[in-house]
């Protein structure tokens, strides 16, 4: 897929730089379609699933528009952009994404997330002087409006994220109240995974001459994720078994520590499997050679830490194996995204031992996905530990 770069879509260098650091090499389909339209000030009705890169599709161009104008949130606790999200978790995540994407802007923007649950007072204090971007759940937003902690009459841009979920969770009355407080002249963007009638009615009421975009399913990366449970002391053996029996032309194995990489190389060598390591203790020369051989196909197996693997660009990688889990769910998503690029099928395996079950559940929660646990014949977890 030879799509446009982020810069070619019209984003400023201050917004493109952090994307490179995050390992975003090219815009996703939804980003390619949405960014120029949002930059041009259009209203948008976008069909996009979680995982499509939809957050950046609206956050990046909105940040650019907000940073281009000299306007300030100003007196009276005004807002410039309002993003409505159905859940506290999504509101937190979206606020964090805006901050990450906007971190290199020459004039820092004030970005806040508010949601029900925590006490309202700190949120009221934080909103003094308004905000450039407020991400909110609808109920808490209305509570804040009632307390005069926030004023919606000067909102320049509105985003409804996961509009179908907002309606499913019964927020339609709250939404109607919020819309009544917004100025008529504004940009509105509606993102939804599905388009039942209620979402279509919402879109008709909210949007003005909207562009409609939908991402074709084929454009999404096709990553098949599998999870194998195995006892800790049998992990090496399982890895060797898989590398010997599966026909992957190239495999990137992730370990969490440098010494695990080195130990694995030795174990594999004993099993007559050639592999190279990629971690920060190796000389630049050794790292370059490993990477070059891996890219050219001369080396089949590369065993890397997250730090060393960040930013490396390997096309058509059929398989990624998580030999150990990364601490952060983000790193996991980053790891598995190394395969299944450009529409090619890819496999991401995780080998998890009972000690890692709870942590893997946290990663799944973050991905909003629950994967079936499988075991490989001969490598089943021993009974005593199986239901820990
Ligand atoms: P979203 O659909 O917005 O929840 O994004 C899903 C994941 O994809 C997030 O972890 C993003 O950091 C990541 N992501 C978004 N855009 C890109 C991109 N262009 N390249 C690589 N990863 C991306």
Neighbours of 148 (CB within 10 A): 11
Q: How many CA atoms lie within 13 A of 4 on its CB side?
A: 15
Residues 124, 148 contacting (CB under 8 angstroms)? no
Fold for 13-215, please state it.
Answer: Rossmann fold (3.40.50)
54 CA from centroid of ligand 1 (Å) = 7
338 Cβ closer than 6 Å to some ligand 1 atom: no
67 CA from centroid of ligand 1 (Å) = 22
Nearest CA to ligand 1 atom 8: 53
pLDDT of residue 388: 44
pLDDT of residue 2: 46
18 CA from centroid of ligand 1 (Å) = 13
50 Cβ closer than 6 Å to some ligand 1 atom: yes
User: Which is it for strands 251-254 and 222-229: parallel, antiparallel or unpaired?
Assistant: unpaired
- Does this model's pTM top 0.75? no
322 Cβ closer than 6 Å to some ligand 1 atom: no
53 Cβ closer than 6 Å to some ligand 1 atom: yes
Distance CA 119, CA 113 (A): 13
55 Cβ closer than 6 Å to some ligand 1 atom: yes
Residues 164, 194 contacting (CB under 8 angstroms)? yes
Nearest CA to ligand 1 atom 15: 53
**Cβ partners under 8 Å of residue 169, min gap 6:** 86, 87
**Residue whose CB lies within 8 A of the most ligand 1 atoms, among 18, 53, 343, for a mutation test:** 53
Nearest CA to ligand 1 atom 12: 53
Nearest CA to ligand 1 atom 7: 51
**Residue whose CB lies within 8 A of the most ligand 1 atoms, among 3, 55, 91, 337, for a mutation test:** 55
Low-confidence ranges of the chain (pLDDT < 70): 1-2, 74-75, 216-221, 308-313, 315-316, 341-344, 383-388
Q: Which atom of ligand 1 approaches the CA of 24 most closely? A: 20
56 Cβ closer than 6 Å to some ligand 1 atom: yes
Distance CA 26, CA 19 (A): 9
* Domain map (residue ranges) of the chain: 13-215, 222-386
**CATH topology identical between 13-215 and 222-386:** yes
pLDDT of residue 164: 93
Q: Which atom of ligand 1 approaches the CA of 48 most closely? A: 2
Q: Which atom of ligand 1 approaches the CA of 54 most closely? A: 3
147 CA from centroid of ligand 1 (Å) = 36
205 CA from centroid of ligand 1 (Å) = 30
Question: To which CATH superfamily is domain 222-386 assigned?
Answer: P-loop containing nucleotide triphosphate hydrolases (3.40.50.300)
Cα–Cα separations (whole angstroms), residue 214 to 24, 31, 34, 157, 194: 21, 11, 10, 21, 10
pLDDT of residue 61: 98
Nearest CA to ligand 1 atom 11: 53
Nearest CA to ligand 1 atom 5: 53
Nearest CA to ligand 1 atom 14: 53
């Amino acid at each position: 897929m030879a799509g446009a770069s982020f810069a070619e879509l019209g984003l400023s260098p201050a917004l493109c730089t952090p994307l490179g650091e995050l390992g975003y090499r090219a815009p996703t389909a939804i980003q390619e379609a949405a960014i120029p339209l949002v930059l041009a000030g259009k209203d948008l009705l976008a069909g996009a699933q979680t995982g499509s890169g939809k957050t950046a599709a609206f956050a990046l161009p909105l940040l650019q528009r907000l940073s281009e104008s000299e306007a300030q949130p100003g007196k009276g606790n005004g807002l410039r952009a309002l993003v409505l999200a159905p859940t506290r978790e999504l509101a937190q995540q979206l606020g964090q994404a805006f901050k990450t994407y906007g971190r290199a802007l020459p004039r820092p923007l004030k970005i806040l997330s508010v949601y029900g649950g925590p006490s309202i007072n700190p949120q009221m204090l934080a909103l003094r002087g308004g905000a450039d971007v407020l991400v909110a759940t609808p109920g808490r937003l209305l509570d804040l409006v009632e307390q005069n902690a926030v004023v919606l009459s000067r909102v320049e841009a509105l985003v409804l994220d996961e509009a179908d979920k907002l309606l499913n969770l019964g927020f339609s009355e709250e939404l109607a109240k919020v819309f009544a407080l917004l100025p008529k002249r504004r940009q509105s963007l509606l993102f939804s995974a599905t388009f039942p009638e209620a979402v279509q009615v919402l879109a008709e009421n909210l949007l003005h001459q909207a562009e409609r975009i939908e991402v074709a399913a084929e454009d999404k990366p096709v990553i098949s994720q599998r999870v194998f449970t195995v006892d800790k002391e049998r992990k090496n053996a399982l890895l060797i078994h898989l590398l010997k029996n599966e026909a992957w032309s190239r495999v990137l194995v992730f370990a969490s520590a440098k010494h695990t990489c080195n130990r694995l190389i030795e174990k594999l060598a004993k099993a007559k499997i050639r592999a190279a390591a990629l971690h920060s203790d190796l000389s630049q020369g050794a790292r370059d050679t490993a990477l070059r051989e891996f890219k050219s196909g001369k080396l089949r197996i590369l065993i890397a830490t997250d730090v060393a693997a960040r930013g490396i660009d390997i096309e058509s990688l059929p398989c990624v194996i998580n030999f150990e889990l990364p601490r952060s769910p983000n790193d996991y998503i980053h790891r598995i995204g190394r395969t299944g690029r450009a529409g090619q099928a890819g496999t991401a395996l995780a080998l998890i031992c009972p000690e890692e079950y709870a942590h893997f559940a946290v990663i799944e929660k973050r991905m909003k996905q629950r994967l079936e646990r499988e075991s490989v014949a001969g490598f089943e977890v021993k009974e005593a530990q199986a239901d820990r």
